[in-house]
Amino acid sequence: MKKIIFFVFVTTMLCACDCQWRLAVSEDIALIANAGMTHVKGGESYNPAFGGAIGAETTVLRRDEKSSFKSGVNISFQGASYEETISYDTYSLKSVQFEENTFSGKVNLSYLNIPLLYHYQSNSGFYAEGGLQPSFLLSAKDKPDEGASYDFKDYIKTVDIGIPVGLGYQLNDNLSLGVRAVYGLSNINTEGTEMYSSEDNDHNVTVFGVFRYTFSKK
């Protein structure tokens, strides 16, 4: 993971140090709304669930009309659903019986995300983007289908680092539609290295459709 982060950082710095890049913070601001699939990859009982995000992004550096660096901030609502069966024996004076109980619900996680993206815009309208995304945990709740929800923020790491990759199409000067996937590099469990094997590490995964509306200041 450290090698991937280092590679992305060095690539970003080399591009930014190119004398052809210029500051472009005041050029535009875009409102972002995302919706789609969210998942916690690792736990055998986890299943994909619906999630989303809302925020804003702006161009920070620009080389030309095609190449730019963008950053911003958004709040994401993610997590996963789960269904787990627990087996146990019950004892009586006459017999031993085998029973199973199935528990289901949803793990709800919310993060403050700061995407750092290289953005390439083609002449045909299609765009591609990729970079690094630090995420900071805001809340973590387990909401079973039966019973009250409870907080388990103390068991989830405060910081996650993800790799965002996106594709889309610029419909006009203001509106674009696309897809952005973010894979979390960190094991989000605070006790993952002690309680679980490497196969049980849990990682955040989101695949969202992206609606972007840009207010240009050019």
pLDDT tens digits along 121-131: 999 999 999 99
pLDDT score at 65 = 82
For residue 12, is pLDDT > 80? no
Q: Which two tokens stand for residue 171?
A: 């419909």
Structural domain boundaries, residue 22:
2-216
Coil vs helix vs strand at 154? helix
pLDDT score at 151 = 92
Share the mean pLDDT of the chain. Answer: 83
pLDDT tens digits along 52-71: 999 999 998 888 888 999 99
- Is residue 103 within 8 A of residue 95, CB to CB? The reply is no
Q: Which two tokens stand for residue 191?
A: 């006790």
Exposure string of 147-174, with b = 16+ CB inside 10 Å and e = fewer, is: eeeeeeeeebbeebbbbbebebebeeee
Residue 190 — very low, low, confident or very high, per pLDDT cuts 50/70/90? confident
Burial class of residue 70 in the structure, from the number of CB atoms within 10 Å of its CB (0-12 exposed, 13-18 middle, 19+ buried): buried
Residue with more model confidence, 46 or 56: 56
Terminal-to-terminal C-alpha distance of the chain: 39
Q: Which two tokens stand for residue 57?
A: 């992004």
CATH number at residue 54: 2.40.160.20
Number of domains in the chain: 1
- Record the pTM: 0.82
Round to whole Å and give the CA distance between 112 and 74: 6
